[in-house]
Amino acid sequence: MPATASHVRRAAKRLFRWCVVNDRLQEERARAVMQEILKSKRRGFITLLSEFKRLLTIEVAKHTARIDSAVLLEIDQQTRIKDGLERAYGEGIDSQFSQNPDLIGGIRIQISSDVYDGTVRARLVALGASFGIRSA
């Protein structure tokens, strides 16, 4: 069977689905799949690996929260945010905190496609957009 792009995509999707049990990604299974593909070196294995990686990235992003703040947050602030995220999105959310002075003030939380942007920079951009000024 020729390894066409659509075949490879379908194969990657099947392998990915095997790695997800009860809506959670099983790391051991994902590792096993990766090892097996590398070992087999079947036709189109690089494309298969790339597609598998893309699906894994999307799945990991669903359970990863990126929290950017203008100043470093205190431990209790971080804990409150983590608890809030777990209440909204379920347990097992991997929270990554980082500092970004360009935000000026406030916090930006992104988890998968959802963004909660309470930063001063975002408000200034929105204000500018209302006057027809586009940010760079």
Residues near other proteins (CB under 8 A): 54-55, 58, 110, 112-118, 123, 134
Distance CA(136)–CA(77), nearest Å, equals 32
Nearer to other proteins, 16 or 33 (CB): 16
Nearer to other proteins, 78 or 110 (CB): 110
3-state secondary structure of 64: strand
* Owner of token pair 């020729």: 2
Residue 29 carries which side chain, given as an amino acid letter?
Answer: R
Nearer to other proteins, 37 or 108 (CB): 108
**CA nearest neighbour of 94 among 53, 54, 64:** 64
Q: What is the largest CA-CA distance in the chain?
A: 58
CB atoms within 10 A of CB 55: 19
Least separation, in Å, of the C-beta of 39 and other proteins? 27
Nearer to other proteins, 9 or 29 (CB): 9
Least separation, in Å, of the C-beta of 102 and other proteins? 15
Least separation, in Å, of the C-beta of 81 and other proteins? 13
Least separation, in Å, of the C-beta of 115 and other proteins? 5
